[in-house]
Amino acid sequence: MKELHNVNVAMRTLARELLESGTVAGVYGWKKGSRPTLTSPLYIQDAAKADRLAYDQYAVSNLSALLLDHRNNDKKRAIFVKGCDSRGVVRLLQDQQITPEQVLVIGLPCPGMVDEAGSLLTKCAECRFPNPVMADQVLGGVEVSKQPSAPTGVTAEAARKVGVGSRAGERMAQVAQLEGKTAAEKEAYWAEQHDKCIRCYACRNVCPACNCRDCIFDTEKKGWVSKAATSSANAFFAITRAMHVAGRCVDCGECERVCPMDIPIMTVNRKLQQDIEALFGPYDAGVDETVVPPLGRYQTDDPEEFL
């Protein structure tokens, strides 16, 4: 992508400098994969490898959860972020899993991510935060913004052309469509989805909000739920996962992307986002780390339905 040429050069230079100077112990970014349409995560600790860094419209992976590997480490790591990724970093900061001293966030302009066929990902069409919500540095002229905003930086025009954010108003369409169904239809739909789950936990592993040291689905000790992939246990897993990230999900869509069974996980997350907004007022997780997530606070005049 020609708009990103200079950004790529700058990324490599910056990474090299950061590693050479010892400012950071490692850098999270992407590299070109085996196919032109594949841009996959890369972690480098060696300045010599900085030239492998690459960033384009296929760099869909959100790297923020990888920072958890170093959560009890004093050394600093640099991470390149798109708008959606930056919210994952804020998630980790707010959850106190990393400290600002442990991470150097470098914001990038997002051209809108595309699939192999070159069409814009739905999540990008629905994107409200194409710009980093926080960054220590930025490349490509992108502007940091804690408000929903239009794409900025060198790819702003390209992003606008492919329609980044153009369907932000319709983010809840899938939720609304399901809400319109009968209880029996919903039950059948979700039963089918839950039955597919193989409990690989890929969704959890990639999620910046799933940052527990010990996940309740890994420990048998308390016996919350069986590890077997039965419909019952899968439903328990799906709902519990959703409730654990309720009000904390940063809407990056990685869980659904990595699901090998194509379970519409984000539909559940979006449903919760929608209800949280309707019940407790507007809230975007992973934007402002000083605002406590909605389930960690209350208003005495919250909606009352339990009378």
Partner 1 sequence: MKRIGVFVCHCGSNIAHTVDCKQVADEAAAMPGVVHAQEYKYMCSEPGQVLIQEAVKEHNLDGYVVTACSPRMHETTFRKCAGRCGLNPYMVEQVNIREHCSWVHADKEAGTEKAIDLMRMGVAKVLKNEPLKAATIPMTKRALVIGAGIAGIQAALDIADNGFPVTLLDREHSIGGRMAQIDKTFPTLDCSACILTPKMVEVAQHPNVELMTYAEVESVGGFIGSFDVTIRKKARYVDTKRCTGCGACIQKCPSKVPSEFEMEMGPRKSIYVPFPQAVPNKPVIDAPHCRYLQTGKCGICKKICPTDAIRFDDQDEVVTERFGTIVVATGYQQFDISAYEEYGGGRIPDVITGMHLERLLNASGPTSGKIKRPSDGKEPKNIVFIKCVGSRDEAKNRPYCSKTCCMYVAKQATLLKEKLPASKSYIFYMDVRTGGKNYEEFYRRTQVDYDGHYIRGRVSKIFQVGDRLIVRGDDSLLGRPVEIEADLVVLAAGMDPQHDARELARTLGIAYDAHGWYTEAHPKLKPVETQTGGIFLAGACQGPKDIPDSVAQGSAAAVKASALLTKTELTGEPMIAQCNEAMCSGCGLCVTICPYKAITRQPKQERIHGKMRERMVSTINSGLCQGCGACTVACPSSAMNMGGFSDEQIMAEVDALCQR
Partner 2 sequence: MSALSPKSGSPADCAVTEGHVGLPVLDPPPTAAPDTGKTKNGEWQPYIVGFACNWCTYAGADLAGLSRMQYPPNMRLVRVPCSGRVNPQFVLRAFQKGADAVLVAGCHPGDCHYGTGNYFTRRRFLLMQRLLTFMGVDPRRFQARWISGSEAPKFRDVVTELTEQVRPLGPNRLWREVEP
Catalog residues that contact partner 2 under the rule CB under 8 A.
Answer: 60, 113, 115-117, 121-123, 126, 171, 173-175, 177-179, 181, 183-192, 216, 224-226, 230-233, 235-236, 239-240, 242-243, 246, 253, 256-257, 262, 264-268, 270-272, 275-276, 279-280, 294-295, 298-300, 302-307
Q: With CB cut-offs between 5 and 8 Å by kind, which of partner 2, partner 1, none does residue 239 bind?
A: partner 2
Secondary structure class of 27 (helix, strand, coil): strand
50-56-287-214 Cα dihedral, nearest 10 degrees: -60
Q: For residues 208 and 71, what is the distance between their CA atoms, to the nearest angstrom? A: 12
* Contacted entry of partner 2, partner 1, none for residue 48, CB cut-off 5 to 8 Å set by kind: none
Question: Which range in 135-143, 148-156, 217-225, 256-264 contacts partner 1 by CB under 8 A?
Answer: 217-225
Q: Which is nearer to partner 1, 35 or 213 (CB)?
A: 213
- The token duo for 125 is 């069409």
SS3 114: strand
* Binding of partner 1 by 155 (CB under 8 A): no
The dihedral sign for the CA sequence 115, 119, 120, 121: negative
Q: Give the rounded distance of the alpha carbon of 302 from its chain centre.
A: 29
Q: How far is the CB of 156 from partner 1 (least distance, A)?
A: 36
Report the residue number, 61 or 64, with the smaller CB distance to partner 2.
Answer: 61
Contact between 75 and partner 1 per CB under 8 A: no
Query: What is the Cα–Cα distance from 123 to 114, expressed in whole angstroms?
Result: 10
Closest CA to 178 of 267, 238, 253: 267
Q: Distance between CA 58 and CA 124 in Å, rounded?
A: 12
Distances (CA, A) of 160 to 124, 126, 138, 155, 170: 11, 12, 20, 8, 17
With the C-alpha atoms ordered 195, 198, 201, 207, is the resulting torsion angle positive or negative?
A: negative
- By a kind-dependent CB cut-off of 5 to 8 A, residue 25 interacts, out of partner 1, partner 2, none, with none
Which CB atom, from 105 or from 265, has the smaller least distance to partner 2? 265
Contact between 297 and partner 1 per CB under 8 A: yes
CB of 301: closest distance to partner 2 in angstroms? Answer: 9
* Binder among 1, 25, 47, 216 for partner 1 (CB under 8 A): 216
Judged by beta carbon distances under 5 to 8 A according to partner kind, the member of partner 1, partner 2, none in contact with residue 121 is partner 2
